[in-house]
Amino acid sequence: MRRLLPFLALPLLCLPGCEFLQQAAQAAQQSQALKPLMPTVTYQDAVLVQSPSQHMMSAYYCPQVVPDPFGVPGTAAAACSVAFGNPPLPEQMRVAFELRFLVKNPNHFPIPLAEVLTAALVFPDKTQQSLGAACVAFCGADQPGCTGAPGPDSCKMKATDIKTLDDFANATANFLIASGVALVQGQQPSFVMPQVVADSEIVVKLRFSFGPDALLGVLKQLASQAIDSLAAGKDIIFEIPYVLQGTAWFDVGSLGRVALGWGPVKDKWTIPANAILP
């Protein structure tokens, strides 16, 4: 019996210490739960959301690339006008696309999407390539009139293996133009900083357009390759092959400013027979 007494007394002696250990374990679990975790960004697709129709493209380029019959000035333009109608204005030839990403936030607190870098290389397999890059710096909801214009340190980081704005220093100015971000279907794009709420995922839709002058110059190559079809009054199919890549920056609690790269992805857009948007 005497030998059993020390063992019977152990639970009584351990009560204060065991309670402390339990509290310490709970505190450790809470600390682990509050430790910031990296979000994830998954590229989904790039959807053409605005473009002229094939017929508008043909009408625009026919008088530019079809030679005048018998060298008589103006005869090609007249024939093109009969076949396709009057050419549209350059501003009617805008091409825009929407990038869609699935963003997951595993943290128990919301994280904002602070900046996004997007680079687009069109006609990557041709000699006349065109590269554009756009950096968007989102603003708080209390900053009306925000245009998403980047600051001097936007879309840049030191000692990383991700793409930053410095990697696209040779991009053509104003070739790629940011129009904003939308989080729900039908929402008007804006530059208000998107918030990814705690323990959730959202689809982020980034809208971009091509500067008309630069892109039209590249598309003219396609029209030049289809002179016979244009001279015969036939619409031609315009396809824009592209390579897209970029980086997204988030503010993640004590982790600070973190960057996640995406791409490169390669595909092509086909200009539809009818304009997507007027």
**What CATH number does the domain containing 173 carry?**
2.60.40.10
The stretches of 146-239 forming alpha helices (DSSP H) are 212-224, 227-231
pLDDT tens for the chain, 278 residues: list them: 555 445 455 455 555 555 655 554 554 455 455 689 999 999 999 999 999 999 999 999 999 999 998 889 999 999 999 999 999 999 899 999 999 999 999 999 999 999 999 999 998 987 667 899 999 999 988 888 889 999 999 999 887 789 999 999 999 988 999 999 988 777 789 999 999 999 999 999 999 999 878 788 888 888 998 999 999 999 999 999 999 999 999 999 899 999 999 999 999 999 999 888 65
Residue 134 in domain: yes
Residue 169 in domain: yes
Residue 30 in domain: no
Three-state DSSP state, 1: coil
Residue 20 in domain: no
**In this structure, are strands 111-122 and 130-137 parallel, antiparallel, or unpaired?**
antiparallel
Residue 31 in domain: no
User: Domain span at residue 122?
Assistant: 41-58+91-270
Q: How far does Cα 46 stand from its chain's mean position?
A: 8
Residue 26 in domain: no
Residue 27 in domain: no
Residue 253 in domain: yes
Number of domains in the chain: 1
Give yes or no for a contact between 103 and 204, defined as CB atoms under 8 angstroms apart: yes
Give the residue among 162, 172, 174 at the shortest CA–CA distance from 123: 172
